[in-house]
Chains A and B, each alone.
Chain A
């Protein structure tokens, strides 16, 4: 009786946004009396950071500090239509809508500033710190707050912007499957190390090394939280989770977290992540969406690593101890491969 180590590899790509397009998102941006901005969305922040990433995108585009932007979400009376937070579409679709809305608001803000400074709006730039100044002449400046207040209380202007992003719908050919599925892809490669106990059949993932290409990482911390949590979810899919352990039988279905197996903190493998950023031509500032694809390479990598460790191919998820032991018995014990 022994434990056997093995390594497995997998590489994947992932389509960003609803597959065939036709999924609009809208955004509204307006300035408050103190010159700060509210972004109104009906989008949902599931914990993935929708509010934060759209806040950064709005601030970047408006040319104001991120502290000057507040994102309001998830109210159908105040936020314009959006399809929702799924299909890795939030950042890509809503991000583009927020850029368009912010650009419109920014141009009104610059017109208001131009009137105050008695210059041409085309000559003005923002410094991202709350100031608008003449290009090449930083001393001829006005704060975004003063410009916003002048617009609203002196000039009679509304500083606001509307944005929508829609990739037109693609048709699908019934006979060949010809289609224009999505506009950009994220990528990943993953190598895992596992340990398989040939007495208990248990598989432990002990290390994960990955490279994820996510377009521009709009917020590196939010990217990291997705990749880390998502990879662990993939690991859990590979060796722990299912609602029907003897699929297609419906027997023994778990009804709570005592019987629905998931890894605990002690089961989580260290994960060494490298992030590559090839900007998507049509993504907001080149961003794609790391949220879904991060789990995908882990499932096959674990199955391949189990084969590498004991020579048993388990093509039927999840890799339960029972399947491992049955496989070992069928081939008369572990036959390590050590391919990697």
Chain B
């Protein structure tokens, strides 16, 4: 059922190593198979409190008032948290990479933009008491119109999901409302093509579906520190996020992960750690915050939906001469990691093929649904589904065997890729050949003789003499300081937004309870649209630069 085809690339490998390449049994397997590996939820504490969130029943609504007075009197209830209890109640995950503007409240206090968005958190002695009290928190909603489809969301007049970006689209490099890829001139190639092949593809939202739902347990430790046992996939990412949200030096936080009951990308968002620690800070007791299965599936961020339009110019012999993409990532109500995944996806286009003219406009679109996040193959799985389904249509159009078509167009060592770097270490041709051979699919002599090491470079290594560029989607008034801005050494701070009045990680007294103020550096959640020059969104971000190697270089 599995074979290692050592004859391929044998001259590039030394197979005579002591430990590498051996099927060594895993260090932790006995614990796993005997049920003794500890998960975050196996850490027992006396007096453990349970935190559960009050969630929006609406896709989009303004919060007029949150009344927790009944809930606070219920049995077992220790405290009810709202947005004003969170020291920095606005975050974007990628601020750890100096990428994007803070957009998502930890506990929303002005409006909600998706069904399930948390507006308050009840901390009680038992989970049942917390659940009962959640039902007793009264929220006075003003329901707003909502939008759920990506192409509806970017039409003029669509409900505004997020105030800080114009027309429900993330802003790239402070310049465009989408990420561009331009290589050669696709329109010229379409004009002279033998065939045009077009398609529309819809990738569905998918749950990471770990057996262990996401969660964390936090407790006061000695010396004013807090320990947090967590199911995170990314320990310092979660620690950095918690330090920022809680406005606490990261050295006060001790994060312990460990055995994770399945991640698949769904345990990067660092939702639970900040609230569990905040609960421990405010109650002085251990606090657990974990999703139940329903929350995991409908509130927890899924792999986001993607919609792709592909148009190819194809020669009679099956060579693809141009490929154009229009892509929409459904980011849901907030950015999380979708903006970044799009750059990853754009760098991946046009798939593993050498195509002389490539064009892409890819949009990160906000809709009134659960925010999307990472999942296995993030930024790539959806577009690979689109590309490879499209390749089948191309094969049918030119009457070529689908495997033959891939080998014909495959990238080889030395080819120029659309993101303007040379391809190396390629192996697509060989994978296609092996599968054809195993499945009994007859290939032409030419396809059988092809290799990834030959046939590339030369003319194929050339950057096109002419590349058609444009200013479509230009956005004014943004100065986001995204590191992905070409040539931008430092991130300029716009004149209208004063820099941080104080360092985000200013030293604090030994064990301060978090102050209940809204941080001054938080951009306004509502207000004038950011388009007019001068009315720029806040360029300053509330800290958490510590773990950004990149920001570390460029912001000091």
Q: A interface vs B, CB < 8 Å?
A: 7-15, 19-20, 22-24, 42-47, 49, 51-52, 55-57, 59-60, 63, 65-66, 70-71, 73-77, 79, 81-87, 128, 166, 169, 171-182, 184-185, 187-191, 209-213, 216-222, 224, 227, 230, 233, 237, 241-244, 247-250, 253-257, 260, 262, 270-281, 285-286, 291-293, 295-297, 299-301, 303-304, 307, 313, 315-318, 337, 339-340
Contact = CB atoms under 8 A, between A and B. Distances in A.
B298 A181 contact: no
B205 A57 contact: no
21 contacts: A13-B428, A44-B257, A47-B261, A74-B256, A75-B255, A76-B255, A77-B254, A86-B268, A169-B483, A169-B549, A175-B182, A181-B419, A247-B204, A248-B369, A270-B1, A271-B1, A273-B1, A276-B5, A279-B9, A296-B384, A304-B392
Given A23-B549, A176-B180, A300-B389, 12 more contacts: A10-B389, A20-B347, A22-B549, A46-B263, A81-B547, A177-B183, A181-B348, A191-B439, A243-B370, A277-B8, A315-B200, A340-B401
Contacts of B21: 216-220
B18 A128 contact: yes
A228 B524 CA distance: 48
A19 B384 contact: no
B3 A275 contact: yes
B44 to A, nearest CB: 18
Given A12-B388, A188-B431, A339 B347 contact: no
Contacts of A71: 27
Given A44-B260, A172-B173, A213-B427, A179 B233 contact: no
A241 B268 contact: no
B97 A244 contact: no
B83 interface: no
A216 B391 CA distance: 29
A176 B22 contact: no
A9 B32 CA distance: 36
Interface in B450-492: 452, 467, 469, 483-488
* Residue with the highest number of chain B CB atoms closer than 10 Å, among A71, A128, A187: A187
Nearest to B260: A46
B1 A296 contact: no
Contact of A295 (B97, B258, B377, B395): B377
A253 B298 CA distance: 7
Contacts of B127: none
A133 B136 CA distance: 74
Nearest to B367: A248
B173 A174 contact: yes
A50 B438 CA distance: 32
A51 B452 CA distance: 33
Given A217-B21, A277-B13, A20 B233 contact: no
A300 B431 contact: no
B441 A191 contact: yes
Contacts of A10: 384, 388-389, 391
B531 interface: no
Nearest first, the 4 closest Cβ-Cβ pairs linking A and B are: A84-B234, A181-B347, A300-B388, A128-B18
Contacts of A82: 235-236
B428 A76 contact: no
Interface stretch (B73-81, B278-286, B338-346): B338-346
Interface string B262-276: 111101100000000
A244 B207 CA distance: 10
Contact of A182 (B6, B172, B347): B347
B346 A177 contact: yes
A175 to B, nearest CB: 5
Nearest to A192: B439
A7 B439 contact: yes
Interface of B: 1-6, 8-9, 12-13, 17-28, 32, 59, 97, 115, 148-150, 152, 172-173, 175-176, 179-183, 199-207, 209, 232-237, 239, 253-265, 267-268, 293-294, 297-298, 302, 305, 330, 340, 343-344, 346-348, 351-352, 360, 367, 369-370, 374, 376-381, 384-389, 391-393, 395-396, 401-403, 406, 410-411, 418-421, 424-428, 430-432, 434-436, 438-439, 441, 452, 467, 469, 483-488, 547-550, 553
Contact of B207 (A79, A190, A243): A243
A172 B207 contact: no
B98 to A, nearest CB: 9
B385 to A, nearest CB: 4
B207 A241 contact: yes
A292 B343 contact: no
A86 B549 contact: no
B392 A243 contact: no
A220 B347 contact: no
B234 A85 contact: yes
Nearest to A218: B20
A190 B391 CA distance: 14
A187 to B, nearest CB: 4
B297 A83 contact: no
B235 A76 contact: yes
A260 B297 contact: yes
B41 to A, nearest CB: 15
Contacts of B18: 59-60, 63, 128
A251 B385 CA distance: 25
A273 to B, nearest CB: 4
B209 A260 contact: yes
B486 A174 contact: yes
B202 A166 contact: no
A254 B180 contact: no
B329 to A, nearest CB: 13
A260 B380 CA distance: 23
A243 B205 contact: yes
B306 to A, nearest CB: 10
Contacts of A304: 388-389, 392, 402
Given A52-B27, A300-B392, A60 B381 contact: no
A274 B260 contact: no
Contacts of B381: 237, 295-296, 299
A176 B388 contact: no
A233 B262 CA distance: 13
B180 A177 contact: yes
A307 B392 contact: yes
A318 B204 contact: yes
Contacts of B411: 13
B294 to A, nearest CB: 4
Given A233-B376, A292-B376, A317 B204 contact: yes
Given A216-B21, A278-B12, A299-B385, A11 B406 contact: yes
Contacts of A271: 1
B376 A178 contact: no
Contacts of B5: 211, 274-276
Nearest to A245: B204
Contacts of B360: 177
Q: Which of B22, B293, B386, B406 has the most CB of A within 10 A?
A: B22
A217 B19 contact: no
B201 A244 contact: no
A174 B347 CA distance: 12
B207 A317 contact: no
B6 A277 contact: yes
A308 to B, nearest CB: 9
A79 B256 CA distance: 10
B486 A173 contact: yes
Contact of A86 (B234, B351, B369, B396): B234
Nearest to A293: B377
